[in-house]
Amino acid sequence: MPTLITASTLKAAFRDQRQSERYDVSDTRINGLQLRVKPTSVRWSVRVRLHGEQKRYDLGPAVEGDQNIEGLSLPGARARAMRVCEMARNGHDPATFLAAIAGGVSIETQLKIKAEKPKPSWTWQKAKQEFLAEIKRSRREDTHRDYRGKLLPKELARFEDRMVNCITRNEVAAAIADVHSRGAEAMAEGMVRVIKRFWSWLAEAVRQDQTNVADGVMMKLYAPPRTRVEIGEQAFDPEDEKGDAPPEIEIGRALVIARQGYFPERIGLGIELLIGTCQRRRAITGANR
């Protein structure tokens, strides 16, 4: 049970440590402060709640007396524990503060080192695999095929083995510009659409702790403008202009048959809707009465 740690408590702790005993003593003056006695050491620690979770932080080795020489005295341990508890109450991780003390460098330097340290993330290959698996699970097969194709161009191979949180918008823009420059302008535009969706998915809250991809990284990603082609610059081919549309007489015949009631009402109305709106197949077959 908690007790008031005194100089006598410390003296007894060092005696018991030499006898290979093991126990913890909780201090009643500073909530969470403990003196931990082990066969190999006598150390101070403090237990706090940070963001709703119970955490323990090591404060350093204990020493007898009032001087913080080669360790922490009782007053020094209480002062350090109070600082850690205050930081935790304010939602700040005390680890940086304790690392600064242990390393003999300023907190500012420790924060700079921590900021420069790469954060954990997914490789390009893993991120692409997880994204396409989710698209296959939740979207149509045509959508999955489209997304997979837009992430396959050889220009994106430069990102293999890279962590996605380190890939910049400018690097992706350069890859898309390379696709555009080889004449695949429509492909470049489609890649922009898919990569924006890809990065938004990586930054969703459910997986952001794993990917460390920031929100809105690819928001202003664009493909280069299409090459200007004016009428007369290319030979006009009526067949190409017409495309794959059937002759008008066949369309008219299908419309008459649909209106004469030769098909069930829903089929007939669907054919009329298809001819009248030129919508995609799924928009027609998915329509209700």
Same domain? For 132 and 203 the reply is yes
CA distances in angstroms from 45 to 5, 40, 125, 221, 258, listed in the order given: 13, 15, 42, 49, 83
Instruction: Report which residue type is found at 191.
Output: M
Mean pLDDT of 238-259: 77
Is residue 77 a part of any domain in this protein? yes
Nearest to 26 by CA among 18, 37, 38, 11: 37
Query: Residue 164: what pLDDT?
Result: 95
pLDDT value at residue 240: 55
- Indicate if 102 and 153 belong to the same structural domain: no
Task: Identify the domain containing residue 89 by its residue range.
Answer: 7-116
CA distances from 179 to 131, 168, 182, 186, 274 (A): 22, 17, 6, 9, 35
- pLDDT tens digits, one per residue of 154-197: 999 999 999 999 999 999 999 999 999 999 999 999 999 999 99
Are residue 134 and residue 167 in the same domain, yes or no?
Answer: yes
Of the listed ranges 8-17, 37-46, 236-245, the least confidently predicted one is 236-245
Structural domains in the chain (count):
3
Provide the β-strand partners of residue 42.
Answer: 37
Same-domain pairing of 78 and 171? no
In contact, 25 and 35? CB cutoff 8 Å:
yes
Structural domain contains residue 225: no
Spatial neighbors of 73 by CB under 8 A, at least 6 apart, are: 62, 63, 64, 65, 66, 67
Same-domain pairing of 91 and 36: yes
Helix (H, G, I), strand (E, B) or coil at 222: coil
Tokens standing for 246? Answer: 């059937």
Are 95 and 12 members of one domain? yes
pLDDT tens for each residue of 80-92: 999 999 888 888 8
Looking at residue 263, what DSSP letter applies? S
Integer Cα distance of 99 and 114 in angstroms: 11
Q: Is the pLDDT of residue 206 over 90?
A: yes
37-64 mean pLDDT = 91
Question: What integer pLDDT is reported at residue 51 of this predicted model?
Answer: 81
Structure tokens at 170: 């400018």
